[in-house]
């Protein structure tokens, strides 16, 4: 290490000891080439011909949401939306795990990244990420916002994340479901991760922290991607993993603001990240040129198979998981917006990947309809995104990101409704899933058609045409769009068996209604904006 790095490391160690974490050697804010050199030296991965690092994440190739906990204390007890998503862990159990973890890391070497979450200087969160693997620190370096040299010298983290891959909970006495854990403690400003190497847990844990803190500052946190057009018009894309959020926002005709998490303040929108975390199964240059070109020197590929002869990544190989990923800095995308802030959005796109094949390809939503579908968050989980998911399965993930939203869905939806009204934002629901039948029978929506519909929504062309009303899903569907055959909009007629379509559509509508029953004290105009049975 250089003298400057040694000074920073010593300062970092002093700060860590203040919260009773005493690792041995500290390697703080190494450069990308330095991290790559260490990772390769330790055989933590292998280089592709592009200079990207390919790593394997072991038994976890996706998030483990059932192993994520929030400490139940006097700060969180009455504010967290406890339930199937936000699992409580007692303060005593946290202290047992943290106590053993502190002992475990004594004398061990750690890689430290100091930086920020949030491109808005008024609300950004100074963070510290500590990992026992060089490649995970490289991931953090590419995903979060890097500090300037001056910011690094004066950096004081307000939240610290400690990830120890080979440390597990004693779940029979420490209150966890298994040896794996992702624990957020808002009183101690700490995140602990153990017994999982999947780097997405690092990213999502810090975003969950932001999603809890920002509403208290009057900022609406969103699990969405964002881009801007040539005239400065901003668009948001909400959707769970696999719905096309990253793909559709990486548009060569528009500038990318960010691909996953944003905040919406009184000043406009801002990205949480300094990088992108793209799903890359079946990635092709002709379909997604920006993402393809971004996977180069310094990028981290998770569970992507490298051809041993050519050293080229085989993006079609899903033998380890369908949830192959690549992390790269935002500036790897041509003309990306840096710093990643933008104006208030003109258009919002909700994305769903409907495995039943009955949702329309696109529909216009009223404010109440937008709040309904935001609270519902319907899609189909795709293979590999989460542990145990091997084929598409219908799900309702409120706010299009329930695992990362600690507060009540009604609280976030209220903020959405207020923003839509104040800024006259148009909202559309787009199905990137199946048509002509369910998964296994029908076909996945044509990406070129979806891009054309998105383009028409963003430039206002859809509003110039006519709409028909779908009485089952209570949606207004356009009848035409440049670049899309008219028959694409008639989902019912895309099925050869109309009776099966009717049964399947009404079944999905009933699932919407049943799911929404969990929300009490919701305004009647919002509840009535959803499907009918």
Q: pLDDT tens per residue, the chain (533 residues)?
A: 577 778 888 888 888 888 889 898 999 999 999 999 999 999 999 999 989 999 999 999 999 999 999 999 999 999 999 999 999 999 999 999 999 999 999 999 999 999 999 999 999 999 999 999 999 999 999 999 999 999 999 999 999 999 999 999 999 999 999 999 999 999 999 999 999 999 999 999 999 999 999 999 999 999 999 999 999 999 999 998 778 888 888 888 999 999 999 999 999 999 999 999 999 999 999 988 999 999 999 999 999 999 999 999 999 999 999 999 999 999 999 989 999 999 999 999 999 999 999 999 999 999 999 999 999 999 987 555 555 555 667 899 999 999 999 999 999 999 999 999 999 999 999 999 999 999 889 999 999 999 999 999 999 999 999 999 999 999 999 999 999 999 999 999 999 999 999 999 999 999 999 999 999 999 999 999 999 87
Q: Is residue 296 flagged as an active site residue?
A: no
**Entry pTM:** 0.93
Helices (H), 19-133: 32-41, 91-105
- Among 68, 203, 245, 367, the one annotated catalytic: 245
Using CA atoms, how far apart are residues 176 and 89, in angstroms rounded to an integer? 8
Angle at 16 between CA 13 and CA 17, to 5 degrees: 85
Q: Is the bond into 339 cis (omega within 30 degrees of 0)? A: yes
Both tokens of 7, joined, read 């000074």
Using CA atoms, how far apart are residues 523 and 533, in angstroms rounded to an integer? 19
Q: What are the b/e assignments for 103-121, b being 16+ CB within 10 Å? A: ebbeeeebbbbbbbbbbbe
Using CA atoms, how far apart are residues 231 and 254, in angstroms rounded to an integer? 10
Considering the domain delimited by 345-527, tell me its CATH architecture.
Alpha-Beta Complex (3.90)
- Among 233, 260, 354, 476, the one annotated catalytic: 260
Q: Is residue 260 flagged as an active site residue?
A: yes
Both tokens of 140, joined, read 């953090």
Q: Is residue 496 flagged as an active site residue?
A: no
Assign domain 3-30+61-217 to its CATH superfamily: Phosphoenolpyruvate Carboxykinase, domain 1 (3.40.449.10)
Contacts of 21 (CB under 8 A, 6+ apart): 102, 105, 130, 160, 162
Helices (H), 214-322: 245-249, 289-294
Both tokens of 120, joined, read 């808005």
**Residue 42 has what pLDDT?**
92
The number of CA neighbours under 13 Å toward the Cβ of 479 is 6
- Among 63, 155, 203, 364, the one annotated catalytic: 63
Residue the block writes with tokens 């000074």: 7
Q: Is residue 188 flagged as an active site residue?
A: no
Q: What are the b/e assignments for 302-313, b being 16+ CB within 10 Å? A: bbbbbeeeeeeb
Query: 282-286 — which CB contacts under 8 Å span 24+ positions?
Result: 282/315, 282/316, 283/315, 284/315
Residue 33 Cα distances to 1, 29, 68, 163, 485, angstroms: 13, 12, 32, 22, 49
Residue the block writes with tokens 């809890």: 212
**Do 367 and 417 touch, CB atoms closer than 8 A?**
yes
- Among 133, 279, 325, 426, the one annotated catalytic: 325
Contacts of 41 (CB under 8 A, 6+ apart): none
- Would you call 405 helix, strand, or coil by DSSP? coil
Closest by Cα among 295, 286, 293, 242 to 401: 242
- Backbone φ, ψ for residue 353 (5° rounding): -110, 90
- Among 48, 241, 247, 435, the one annotated catalytic: 241
Both tokens of 111, joined, read 């890689």
Domain residue extents for the chain? 3-30+61-217, 278-328, 345-527
Closest by Cα among 237, 236, 249, 222 to 330: 249
- Among 124, 146, 155, 223, the one annotated catalytic: 223
- Among 128, 204, 419, 451, the one annotated catalytic: 204
Cα 35 to the center of its chain, rounded Å: 24
- Among 57, 123, 180, 246, the one annotated catalytic: 246
Closest by Cα among 404, 405, 368, 384 to 325: 384
Contacts of 257 (CB under 8 A, 6+ apart): 225, 226, 227, 228, 234, 269, 271, 336, 337, 340, 341, 342
Both tokens of 1, joined, read 């290490």
Closest by Cα among 51, 457, 446 to 287: 446
The domain 278-328: what is its CATH number?
Answer: 2.170.8.10
Q: Is residue 204 flagged as an active site residue?
A: yes
Question: Is the Cα dihedral 341, 214, 82, 520 positive or negative?
Answer: negative
């Amino acid at each position: 290490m250089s003298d400057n790095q040694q000074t920073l490391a010593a300062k970092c160690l002093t700060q860590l000891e203040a919260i009773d974490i005493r690792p041995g050697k500290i390697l703080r804010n190494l450069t990308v080439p330095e991290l790559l050199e260490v990772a390769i030296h330790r055989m933590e991965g292998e280089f592709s011909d592009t200079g990207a690092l390919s790593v394997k994440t072991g038994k976890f190739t996706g998030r483990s949401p059932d192993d994520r906990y929030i400490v139940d204390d006097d700060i969180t007890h009455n504010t967290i939306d406890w339930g199937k998503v936000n699992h409580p862990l007692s303060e005593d159990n946290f202290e047992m795990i943290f106590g053993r973890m502190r002992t475990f890391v004594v004398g061990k070497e750690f890689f430290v990244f100091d930086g920020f979450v949030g491109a808005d200087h008024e609300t950004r969160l100074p963070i510290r990420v500590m990992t026992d693997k060089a490649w995970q620190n490289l991931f953090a370096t590419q995903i979060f916002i890097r500090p300037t040299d001056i910011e690094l010298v004066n950096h004081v983290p307000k939240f610290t994340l400690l990830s120890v891959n080979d440390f597990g909970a004693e779940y029979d006495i420490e209150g966890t479901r298994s040896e794996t854990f992702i624990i957020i403690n808002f009183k101690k400003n700490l995140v602990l991760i153990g017994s999982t190497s999947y780097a997405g847990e690092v990213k999502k844990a810090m975003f969950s922290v932001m999603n809890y803190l920002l509403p208290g500052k009057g900022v609406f946190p969103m699990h969405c991607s964002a881009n801007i057009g040539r005239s400065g018009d901003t668009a948001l894309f909400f959707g769970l993993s696999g719905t096309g959020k990253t793909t559709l926002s990486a548009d060569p005709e528009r500038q990318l603001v960010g691909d996953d998490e944003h905040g919406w303040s009184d000043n406009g929108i801002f990205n949480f990240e300094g990088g992108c975390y793209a799903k890359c199964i079946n990635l092709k240059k002709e379909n997604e040129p920006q993402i393809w070109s971004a996977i180069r020197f310094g990028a981290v590929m998770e569970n992507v198979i490298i051809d041993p002869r050519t050293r080229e990544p085989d993006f079609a190989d899903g033998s380890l998981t369908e949830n192959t990923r690549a992390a790269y800095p935002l500036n790897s995308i041509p003309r990306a917006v840096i710093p990643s802030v933008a104006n208030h959005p003109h258009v919002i796109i909700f994305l769903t990947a409907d495995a039943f094949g009955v949702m329309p390809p696109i529909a216009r939503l009223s404010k109440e309809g937008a709040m309904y579908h935001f609270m519902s968050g319907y899609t189909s989980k795709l293979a590999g995104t989460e542990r145990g998911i091997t084929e598409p399965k219908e799900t309702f993930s409120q706010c299009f990101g329930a695992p990362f939203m600690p507060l009540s869905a009604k609280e976030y939806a209220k903020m959405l409704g207020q923003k839509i009204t104040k800024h006259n934002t148009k909202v559309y629901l787009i199905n990137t899933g199946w048509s002509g039948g369910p998964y296994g029978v029908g076909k996945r929506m044509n990406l070129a058609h979806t891009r054309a519909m998105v383009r028409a929504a963003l430039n206002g062309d859809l509003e110039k045409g006519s709409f028909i009303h779908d009485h089952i899903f209570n949606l207004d569907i356009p009848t035409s769009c440049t670049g899309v055959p008219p028959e694409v909009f008639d989902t019912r007629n895309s099925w050869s068996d109309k009776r099966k379509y009717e049964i399947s559509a009404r079944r999905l509508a009933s699932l919407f209604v049943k799911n929404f029953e969990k929300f009490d004290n919701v305004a009647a105009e919002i509840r009535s904006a959803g499907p009918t049975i």
